[in-house]
Amino acid sequence: MPRKAKTLAVVAHSPAVIPASKRTLSFGAKWQYAPAPESVVVKPDARYELFIGGKFVKPKSGQYFSTLNPANEKQLSEIALAEQADVNAAVSAARRAYDNVWGKMSGRERGKYLFRIARIIQEKARELAVLESLDGGKPIKESRDFDLPQVAAHFFYHAGWADKLDYAFSGKMPRPVGVCAQIIPWNFPLLMAAWKIAPALACGNTIVLKPAETTSITAMHLARILQEAELPDGVVNIVTGAGETGRALVEHAGVDKIAFTGSTEVGKLIAKATAGTNKKLALELGGKAAHIIFDDAPLDQAVEGIIGGIFFNQGHVCCAGSRLFVQEGVYRTVIKKLRDRISTLRVGDPLDKNTDIGAINSRAQLDKIRSLVDAGVAEGGELLQPRCTLPERGYWFAPSVITGVTASHRIAQEEIFGPVLSVLTFRTPDEAVERANNTPYGLSAGVWTDKGSKIFKTISKLRAGVVWANTYNKFDPTSPFGGYKESGFGREGGIHGLASYVRLD
Ligand code: NAI
Ligand code: MG
């Protein structure tokens, strides 16, 4: 990582990032931070193989693809490319493990493995966090303080369920579903793996997991942890590759259930491919979350929650609050506070402990963010960005607020998955709810007000799977997460999440 990136305190978008526009305002950072590099140094392996039947095996085609560090565009490792034959081998291994071992094992025994996995993850949390930040670009304070504790918490929580499933669904005897295909995205690589693997194992299923092609490294380190925990061979198999590998897995006749998190576009393809089959399906897709700030809200608290909810982790969050509805009376104050706060955000080296906004995960994602922001400006929005010198190499985007957005703008409708907040206004509570609901998505929302009664009235009308009030992006394994409308169906977490990994009929 060049030193320049570490010290980057933020401030001036490069003209290449955003087209010059009279409507663009720039303002500077207030101070510079000294670099505070992460002290744990981990070097990824030069090459990672597939994990099938409890062993690391070479892909049958002999092909590998590279995974980059998005902060400097340098190759980190080569990752095995799984094709149909490898997917077949992984599904067969999962079937054997289901029939011979895992499907028959008592919940009490399964729970012991899950507890063991959770404890080993805790022991190795720091090195896993470093690998996650290297491969995906997220700041170390996110991977270390949010992702990894949540990963361990998911295994602990579901370990506790394994021997209590008979009490979870009143009057019903839950049975495992069988072989689960799990396809996950790049924004929370290890956490999405944990969300999917832990409940599936607790319920007695076996798994073929496919990580995202830009962030496979931590999944392969998780495979080592599974070996260390002596999880029986074939209970979890991991195949790496891109969309084609995912498609082969989805279409495999030996799969009983598919759990997918990713884009709405691919979610729709998977829904079509599984229609008319006996496969159980859960989809967690995109979002276009709205924050509603009423004029009686604690404004500093609200602004802090909104900033965290869209800028930390580069906005690579399906429940990122990318639309902000502000009641007209406090509009000017809120904009001033947002503007002041974004000028203090630090963009740069993901492995610097001071960094708030790391690297955008891939060039494709950066291009998507740029094009949506360009469209927002072209459609009449006003772009507020701190002036920042972004590192020359790597994928970067300065934190951006776009005001003057209206509901018909693309930026208010399409998922952006980047550090960009669109601001809209409203007069009455009913108008706020109606406009917040005006999107094809329905994953999450945030409500900010001093009045408890207003919170309840508002959340009962919002069409979103999760609504946070006077806080944002708070997660717990006991709490179900999932969406309405084009954000998908099925829940993950809590007792509702378990329901999608059992048969009750
Ligand atoms: P994507 O949906 O293509 O990728 C997610 C996963 O699906 C990856 O593992 C990928 O290899 C796999 N996949 C791709 N095509 C597949 C197919 N035909 N069958 C089975 N699996 C397939 O998402 P992508 O292209 O990385 O991101 C595009 C947009 O999707 C983002 O800009 C963002 O708006 C949204 N997204 C939403 C996420 C969420 O958490 N809801 C996560 C990632 C992306
Ligand atoms: Mg990578």
Q: Are 177 and 325 contained in the same domain?
A: no
**Joined tokens for residue 83:** 């094709």
Residues 11 and 142 in one domain: no
CATH number where 368 lies: 3.40.309.10
Distance of CA 503 to the CA centre of its chain: 27
Instruction: Tell me the average pLDDT across 3-17.
Output: 34
Q: Is the CB of 150 within 6 Å of ligand 1?
A: no
Could you tell me if residue 379 is inside a domain? Answer: yes
274 and 312 inside one domain: no
Q: What percent of the chain has pLDDT over 90?
A: 88
Q: What is the mean pLDDT of residues 45-74?
A: 98
For residue 169 the two structure tokens come to: 């669904």
CA angle in degrees (0–180, nearest 5) for 445-446-450:
150
- Give kind and range of the element (H or E) at residue 291: strand 290-293
42 belongs to a structural domain: no
Residues annotated catalytic, as ranges: 284, 318
For residues 233 and 305, state if they share a domain: no
Q: Pick the ligand that lies closest to the CA of residue 65.
A: 2
Is it the case that residue 11 has pLDDT exceeding 60?
no
Q: Which helix (H) or strand (E) holds 217?
A: helix 217-228
- Report percent pLDDT > 70 for the chain: 94
Domain ranges, residue 87 = 47-285+487-504
Mean pLDDT over 38-58 rounds to 96
Check whether residue 203 and residue 328 sit in a common domain: no
**Confidence check: pLDDT of 4 > 50:** no
Q: How far is the CA of 141 from the centre of ligand 2 (A)?
A: 18
Is the CB of residue 360 below 6 angstroms from any atom belonging to ligand 1? no
Question: What per-residue confidence (pLDDT) applies to 388?
Answer: 81
In this predicted structure, the answer to whether residue 33 has a pLDDT above a threshold of 80 is no
Q: What is the pLDDT of residues 219-275, one digit of tens each?
A: 999 999 999 999 999 999 999 999 999 999 999 999 999 999 999 999 999 999 999
Buried b (16+ CB within 10 A) or exposed e, 467-498: bbbbebbebebeebbbbebbbbbbbbbbeebb
Question: Does residue 499's CB lie within 6 angstroms of at least one atom of ligand 1?
Answer: no
Based on the fold, state whether residues 256 and 320 are members of the same structural domain: no
**Is 29 a residue whose pLDDT tops 60?**
no
Residues 90 and 228 in one domain: yes
Q: What is the mean pLDDT of residues 118-132?
A: 98
Tally: H helices and E strands in the chain: 17, 21
The string of pLDDT tens digits covering residues 330-373 is: 999 999 999 999 999 999 999 999 999 999 999 999 999 999 99
Could you tell me if 138 and 71 are in contact, meaning their C-beta atoms sit under 8 angstroms apart? Answer: no
In a domain, 40, yes or no: no
Ranges assigned E (strand) in 350-415: 382-386, 400-403
Per-residue pLDDT, 31: 58
- How many independent structural domains does the chain possess? 2
Return the ligand number nearest the Cα of 79.
Answer: 2
Q: For ligand 1, is residue 183 a contact (CB within 6 Å)? A: yes
